[in-house]
Structure 1
């Protein structure tokens, strides 16, 4: 079958909405807090950064443990728990009169680290051949949520203040709770854990993988830079006599333009198979945007810089997970994605601290010089990346008695033409293959597996 069935469609749109409501709530504060938080007790540039990035710390710490819990307790109970924390954090922040309580609310919001559970449930509810479509639908909601948040945040804050942002966030989280409770399907099967969730025994091994380390470092820096610059950017716009209620009028065309310009880069990178070159180009766009703001803070210059920044940001946000999926060892995609997501959220937290600290001690303009320097270091580190040839991932059931039998089977399979990597997971009785897209003969591999089980 080439199309999603009714269960898969229901899973795709309901889980995408749950993801979107949560991400909207996290992102809407970014473009407004530096302005609308000024009436809070204890307001300072450092606490701006801490409040904006605080959710990233608890997200980074709990992303993988919450995924593990979803294996023990079930996907939906963990999602309900996480969304409950999100509602609580939103209410605490909405009622806050100090920057400290807002930061506490953001920490509680971050405890709703349900990304792993959502992705795992999506895998549980879909057939293997249809799984990429459902994952793509959910993945697209991240970029769409960010765009909507950058426009909706300033508009809501202008109409109802900072508390309005958090009450809106609480309402969306409650809607997400109802969706999970009443609409999201109950899984009747469970996808292989190694491909959807982080596994405890392999995390340290992946940290030693040089190419995955580059990607984890890259996403950490990408979100560090995003969070850091928005500690001071809204204030720069105010200094250009651009009222906060109108900021969405800048963000909307910039984000639409950036998306339009990003698409050709994605097409060219894929068609020419020059992913590394275009990745380096995107990082360079980030650096140029920081330099442009550093030398000229007029409105046209800030607008152009933001356009360049988001072209690079959107390209990197879309392309790095695809590279990660290609590079991750066979059978360990879930673990690789778990560590990648943790690095992403940790970057948001560190970006808040960096932005607040630099703005407090050296002024807002110097932050862009620091950002450009960090970007140059990332460019140098990424330039040494090796991108492997495109491959296909396959998963087959096997019957192996123990680790010795698994190792023998894996050794035989590595001799087949087109086989790049083999992982046999005894606990799951499943075989994972990473193979070349043209040279590999699936029938030959299946025959070898069957013969090994008879012997």
Structure 2
């Protein structure tokens, strides 16, 4: 197989990538849309009675059930079929959204958020996308999903306050439910059906090999990082909307604060990530991202005296947040063995969900008892600890992962193929899928003789 820029996606692969990215984005839109407005709405429901701890639970509860259901639903898709599990998960998520729209007490809202999270289809969507794409274009297809999530997050922060003025928070939940129902139709009629469904080690989790991932201290560092990033994010949005209201800004005006901050964050993120990836400065850019989110929390902890200071903090925060959201999955991919990349990402995604739950629950509890200083003090301590852990960790190697179909001439001859490939300049590791149909290569970004590797695999050399 050739490099990604030599391989054109087939029409069916484009259709699979775009439709499943859309499904992923629509589901995340439902989570992100309510993020900047949910705390204020929840605090006004019957049963709140200044119970910020329960408000925080409403913010983060979906993360707990998402963490619990993600792996089981991914495994179920192997047994019962990808699309059937995706339909089930989306129906559950839609039901939770409509329940949240109808909730008239805070306790009902917490329960509805738990149902929303239980529709955890990300693993099944990833597995379906892997079934529908060839090894040589799969990484590009997965990056399209990641890009759709990042854009959805930024757009949601701005749209949420505006839409809230038009339809209210219950309307946001109802809109989420409707969009989810539409996405079921997209999967049914627009997304191709896979001819063969099988385990793809580079994209799916292997529960039996989870221990190998959990014993890798570098991967555990990244898992702690995504936990800290999303725990602090959820805690931030549990308290920050109240600070803006205290400064005289109604919730429907909050988009005026979020819009410039998110735009600055997106614009600044692009060159930083490019420098990190292309100039072997990934660790330096990574540490800068952590420093940005930590610095923003430190200033918020020191005081919330003016709207300008909050706006500046958010701009710095989103620069760091966007850099970290883009670089963390790349660092996991570079560090994990090629045939365990899916398992490593499964653990990583689970820790992200646990972070969302923990940030909401702990942030709400601290807000109730210690106010803004308690919340932002917690976020500051968590992020500074992550900065220390990341600074002490080794820099990831400047490598890339490639997958190639094993042609008939090499079937059953894995060891000779491994030996031939290991002698190629720039190849760091060679692994095979469990069925022997795919060879995974981890190679240096510079100095890798890809042409020689392709010739060996094709049998031309």
Category of TM-score, reference length = shorter chain: over 0.9
1:334 counterpart residue number: 342
Of 361, 364, 373, 1:365 maps to 373
2:68 counterpart residue number: 61
SS in 2 for 1:431: strand
2:303 is equivalent to residue 291 of structure 1: no
1:37 counterpart residue number: 42
1:453 counterpart residue number: none
TM value normalised by structure 2:
0.91
1:122 counterpart residue number: 129
**Superposition deviation, residue 443 in structure 1:** 4.8
Stretches of structure 1 that go unaligned for 5 or more consecutive residues are 451-455
TM value normalised by structure 1:
0.92
1:270-298 deviations in whole A, cap 9, x for unaligned? 33311111111111111110121222311
2:363 counterpart residue number: 355
Is the CA contact 1:68–1:197 (under 8 Å) kept in the aligned structure 2? no
**Superposition deviation, residue 39 in structure 1:** 2.7
2:28 counterpart residue number: 23
SS in 2 for 1:53: helix
Of 369, 372, 391, 2:400 maps to 391
Structure 2 counterparts to residues 137-148 of structure 1, below 5 A:
137-148=144-155
Distance, in Å, in 2 between the alignment partners of 1:443 and 1:413 is 9
Is the CA contact 1:409–1:449 (under 8 Å) kept in the aligned structure 2? no
Deviates more, 1:186-195 or 1:117-126: 186-195
Structure 2 counterparts to residues 48-447 of structure 1, below 5 A:
48-190=55-197, 192-297=199-304, 298-386=306-394, 387-397=396-406, 399-400=411-412, 414=422, 417-437=425-445, 438-440=447-449, 443=452
Of 5, 8, 12, 1:3 maps to 8
> RMSD of aligned C-alpha atoms?
2.3
SS in 1 for 2:254: helix
Is the CA contact 1:406–1:426 (under 8 Å) kept in the aligned structure 2? no
**Superposition deviation, residue 419 in structure 1:** 3.4
SS in 2 for 1:232: helix
Number of residue pairs matched by the alignment: 447
Distance, in Å, in 2 between the alignment partners of 1:249 and 1:300 is 12
Distance, in Å, in 1 between the alignment partners of 2:61 and 2:107 is 11
Stretches of structure 2 that go unaligned for 5 or more consecutive residues are 1-5
SS in 2 for 1:4: coil
Change (3 A) 1:200 1:409: farther
SS in 1 for 2:404: strand
